[in-house]
Structure 1
Amino acid sequence: MKVLYVPLDERPCNYRYPQFLSELAEGVELIAPPREYMGRMKKPSNIDEIWRWIFENIRDCSYAILSVDALIYGNIVNSRIHYKTIEECSKYLEYFGKLKQINRNVEIHAFNLVARVAAYDSDAEDPFYWKDYGYKIWRYCYLTDKIGRGEGTKEEIGELDAVKEEIPQEYLRDFLDRRKVNLFVNQKCLELVKEGLIDFLVIPKDDCAEYGFAAMDQHLISRRIKELRIMDRVMVYPGADEVGSVLFARVFNKHKGYVPRVYIRYSSTLGPTIIPKYEDRPLNESIKHQIISAGGIVAGSAEESDLLLAVHSPGTRTLEAIEQYSESFRFSSYSNYSNAEELIKYAIYYSEKYGKPFAVADVAFCNGADDHFMMMAVKNKLFDRLCAYAGWNTSQNTIGSVLAHGVLCSYYKGFADDPEKYDASMRLLLRAIITDWLMQSKGTFRLTKLKDNYPDLNPYSLGEYSALAAKKVKDLLIELIQEELGGKFNGRRIELTELSFPWDRFFEIDLELKLEKC
């Protein structure tokens, strides 16, 4: 089984993680374009070079997993800032037909984002005017949709007029023109599915909300899906950076004829019904989409399942991970609506009673792990039994990535009969624990204190401080590994060998790990 993969961008979550997964799969080869083709943040990938690479390499592939955004705009960030015309986009979309001409047996599993509208003032990943008008544009979109549905109040109708007046018309026009192009691409991909040029399509809603232009676009997309009668081959749900991994799990399962049965257990009563931050629907509905997208099915009971997905869910609403360390954070109010201890105890019970693997999705907070939950996990020796973990960025980024790893573990029965694959799986698990807990959660909080010593340091654009920051972060992580994990994992000593910042910002790192015999 050979899989051709074009990631959304060059960050580890998109470029490396599916490759890590492929290394766990017996008899599977995943190939991706050379990293130098992939661009970096606002610098788009070399689109023409990547297409040439695809044409040269797809002939003997069974499957292709393709990011439409990378192949048309250059990457995720350029899907938000590009100046491409419909004619330019159409040229690249026509190339999908050539793929089936070269290899009529290849199955193409593609994904194409509904572009986000970020609800804050920063131009780090958005057009230059977002630093001054980002939130206002988001609010304009939110109110436009809500009022358009007939659900706006008199006050909101007045606010919409005021907000629109405050946004320079040339910026609003630029934003709206780009969304027209992006929606055209979304719609055209549906036609490619109808024509059989794309076999399966995911349309992830990047950083979305209940109201807004993403919701308006989804309405049009859903209507078109119904018109084309392709409901069985297209899925629309929140997500972005996890989709490459989910689709890898999907093609793996399809190739193996495996339909993983996933049993879901939550740490909070309201958890399944809560709409997470940056998303547009109840958590449980998105999780069902992720499981189906990965080629699985939701199990009705533990007995009939192949994998337990233990979801550490919010009690009442999603907070940012950094908020749990503030003096104003009320742990009692937060914990009264959630029972992390019961989830941990149940996961251990499930493992012992059924002899099946379990994975933990830590989505109580956004952008980092729940520190209290993770310390409890250490106390209860949960990591000795755990097969997969994630607790980063949005809820669906976490769910999709942990599900993809967990599904492979379930197929191979925890890699019990393959020490080499087991070690690789443990390194992937440890990587997530370090990046999502020790770095994105605990580390980010501790690193905020550096501002006092380095007032010019911008955590979202390190610049001249990059080398210094890499050393500080590496030293801090070594300290935290010793402090929280005793310097060991799975009975072996942890060695952190390399660390870098893919997008020159603190909260996202790439690293290399070794597990050495003590």
Structure 2
Amino acid sequence: MIRSLLFLMIFWSFSVTAQKPGKNRILLIPLDDRPPCLQFTQRMGQIAGAEVVAPPLAMLGQFTTPGQSEAIGQWILSQDLSSFDAAIVCLDMLAYGGLVGSRVHQVPLETAVKRLEIIAKLREKAPRLPLYAQSVLMRLAPSADMKNDAYRAQLARWAEISPDPSRQEETAQLAKVIPATALADYQQARLRNHTINQKAIEWVKKGIIDYLLITQDDAKPQGVHIAEGQRLREQIHQQNLQAKVALQPGTDEVSMLLLARFLTQKAAFTPKIKVYYSSDSLSKRAMPFEDRPLTTSVRYQIESAGATQVDKETDAQILLYVYTSRQQPQRAISFVNEIKEKLASKKHVIVADIDPVGNVQGGDSVFSALLIKHQLLPALSGYASWNTAGNTLGTALPQGVTYYLASQRFKQPKTALYSAQQWFLLNRVLDDYYFHTLIRPEANRRFGKPGLGALILDESRNKQVEAFCLERLQGYLKTLEQDYFTSKPFASFCQRPQHLQFSLPWHRTFEALIDFDLDCSRKN
């Protein structure tokens, strides 16, 4: 009888905690210091009233300068781990100093394994702390760093075709033009990373890691990564870890997915999501830089965010609209009308605008302009349109899940909720659409290499490009006055954004840090 009462008290206590919004504190070891890995995750946490705590920025490195793995490990142990509700740890930062560091063989396997012992120490110090981890399955191409311009494309091609017996002659020719040391370094880095991924799965089996996402960085439907992924899947199945380990496309966005997963588990609630595609045929194809059909990627992203996909809208709390019809402008009109209808009926709607060709970094001009014109963007639960399908889905989905939980389950105070939610939506519009689609190509043409090139800059030119982009962004911000800022979801609560800031943290135009102040303190 006493044992039964004790069990009921523990269960009741856990249930109350699960539903309580509180001031959740989450320890984050990001993949690197780029905005998607750090700024986005911290800002998304604010939507649910969560404080996401990361190591000092100086420890995280910058581009080809790796993060300070040992110092980060000591920083973790110096924290009061009892003050955190969860930990999100990107193993590549601890092992190699970040994503770019993971693509070269500067860190031997033995050193990487030793650095990752901090995970076991974290578990020893905080045995009940939920620990979510990410480990990356290396992409085909090495990072562009100006040193490898002469052979980078050939190395990526070698990685794509070398497993194919019918391509032996082409593979041999490529090997002749790739420096032997560069090819050896690439192969050693892949082998080391694969070994770490295998060990990460073992750590899940041992209970050191609670949930693991192994994420496939930029890839194609064929290449050296296919066999690596297959071996990892076999290991996951052999150890019956399908509920605790997933292997899916994407990389930069993963800490946001893990944040959403923690919040769903904190709420003891699994949101149900119904998916609508603008094109059935394109939904069955692999998107650029990915190795599986879009429908499969979407399902994996939904599940890793702690949600589940349903077939009927009547069973869903959230609707996900996936736009891929950039070659069909008329479909943009009808798709926007469908979204408009759902928002008018008070549905929680997420929009993911995905480039199915791979020649545009940001949002589709026609589709984005219609969303702005019809004043739909401020009413969305989640939105993104940057880079790969995985990046876009892995930003929009967790935002939508987080916003739903904050508004419906946690009952986040409206001032904080709207300020954080509207900041994130507006940041996506400024970054994904205005910067990446409109400003970035202009900056690349004016200051250097056109197209999707990273456009690596020296200090002086970096400042020139930043000033140019900030001026353009301020101009586009003014154009939002008519449609965006007068929309009911925005105008009812929020003041105009102030103190717009813009920078290129990695001295290239591939990613931008955009910030501003937004006050949504008006009462209903």
Identify the TM-score tier after normalising by the shorter chain.
0.7 to 0.9
Q: Report the Cα offset of residue 250 of structure 1.
A: 0.3
Closer, same or farther: CA 462–170 of 1 in aligned 2, 3 Å: closer
- More displaced, 187-196 or 213-222? 213-222
| Contact kept? 2:362, 2:433, Cα under 8 Å | yes
Q: Report the Cα offset of residue 308 of structure 1.
A: 1.1
Match of 1:410 in 2: 404
Superimposed CA distance per residue, residues 467-512 of structure 1 (whole angstroms, 9 cap, x where no aligned partner): 2222111110111222355485223434352211111112421122
Equivalenced residue count is 483
Q: Which runs of 5+ in 2 are unaligned?
A: 1-23
Secondary structure at 2:116's aligned position in 1?
helix
1:84 equivalent to 2:68? Answer no
Secondary structure at 1:54's aligned position in 2?
helix
Match of 1:335 in 2: 328
Superimposed CA distance per residue, residues 62-115 of structure 1 (whole angstroms, 9 cap, x where no aligned partner): 311100000010011100124222211221232222122111111211000011
Within-5 A mapping of 1:108-123:
108-118=131-141, 122-123=144-145
Within-5 A mapping of 1:232-247:
232-247=243-258
Match of 1:358 in 2: 349
Secondary structure at 1:265's aligned position in 2?
strand
Return the alpha-carbon distance in structure 2 between the equivalents of residues 239 and 385 of structure 1.
Answer: 27
Q: Report the Cα offset of residue 184 of structure 1.
A: 1.0
1:134 corresponds to which letter in structure 2? R
Return the alpha-carbon distance in structure 1 between the equivalents of residues 177 and 55 of structure 2.
Answer: 44
| Contact kept? 1:357, 1:409, Cα under 8 Å | no
Superimposed CA distance per residue, residues 357-403 of structure 1 (whole angstroms, 9 cap, x where no aligned partner): 21111103541110111111122221242232111111111101111
1:71 equivalent to 2:74? Answer no
Superimposed CA distance per residue, residues 402-440 of structure 1 (whole angstroms, 9 cap, x where no aligned partner): 111100122234779613311221011000000000000
Match of 1:328 in 2: none
1:288 equivalent to 2:283? Answer no
Closer, same or farther: CA 417–352 of 1 in aligned 2, 3 Å: farther
Secondary structure at 2:313's aligned position in 1?
coil
> TM (normalized to structure 1)?
0.88
- More displaced, 497-506 or 273-282? 497-506
1:466 equivalent to 2:451? Answer no
Return the alpha-carbon distance in structure 2 between the equivalents of residues 397 and 209 of structure 1.
Answer: 15
1:2 equivalent to 2:25? Answer yes
Match of 1:309 in 2: 320
Within-5 A mapping of 1:318-467:
334-335=327-328, 339-353=331-345, 355-364=346-355, 366=358, 367-413=361-407, 418-451=414-447, 459-467=455-463
Closer, same or farther: CA 39–384 of 1 in aligned 2, 3 Å: closer
Return the alpha-carbon distance in structure 2 between the equivalents of residues 177 and 236 of structure 1.
Answer: 22
Within-5 A mapping of 1:92-171:
92-118=115-141, 122-123=144-145, 128=147, 130-147=148-165, 152=166, 156-171=167-182
Q: Report the Cα offset of residue 122 of structure 1.
A: 3.4
Closer, same or farther: CA 486–495 of 1 in aligned 2, 3 Å: farther
Match of 2:188 in 1: 177
Return the alpha-carbon distance in structure 2 between the equivalents of residues 452 and 35 of structure 1.
Answer: 29
Secondary structure at 1:204's aligned position in 2?
strand
Match of 1:37 in 2: 59
Return the alpha-carbon distance in structure 2 between the equivalents of residues 136 and 292 of structure 1.
Answer: 36
Return the alpha-carbon distance in structure 2 between the equivalents of residues 69 and 438 of structure 1.
Answer: 31
| Contact kept? 1:488, 1:494, Cα under 8 Å | no
| Contact kept? 2:325, 2:331, Cα under 8 Å | no
| Contact kept? 2:48, 2:412, Cα under 8 Å | no
Return the alpha-carbon distance in structure 2 between the equivalents of residues 199 and 493 of structure 1.
Answer: 42
2:430 corresponds to which letter in structure 1? I
Q: Higher relative CO (CA 8 A, sep ≥ 6), structure 1 or 2?
A: 2
1:335 corresponds to which letter in structure 2? Q
Which among 471, 476, 498 is matched to residue 495 of structure 1?
498
| Contact kept? 1:357, 1:413, Cα under 8 Å | no
After superposition, the CA RMSD in angstroms is 2.4
| Contact kept? 2:458, 2:507, Cα under 8 Å | yes
| Contact kept? 1:210, 1:279, Cα under 8 Å | yes
| Contact kept? 2:105, 2:186, Cα under 8 Å | no
| Contact kept? 1:59, 1:103, Cα under 8 Å | yes
> TM (normalized to structure 2)?
0.87
Superimposed CA distance per residue, residues 431-459 of structure 1 (whole angstroms, 9 cap, x where no aligned partner): 000000000001123224424899xx983
Q: Which runs of 5+ in 1 are unaligned?
A: 316-333
2:372 corresponds to which letter in structure 1? V
Q: Report the Cα offset of residue 466 of structure 1.
A: 2.0
| Contact kept? 1:107, 1:199, Cα under 8 Å | yes
Return the alpha-carbon distance in structure 2 between the equivalents of residues 123 and 2 of structure 1.
Answer: 36
Closer, same or farther: CA 412–397 of 1 in aligned 2, 3 Å: same
1:200 equivalent to 2:205? Answer no
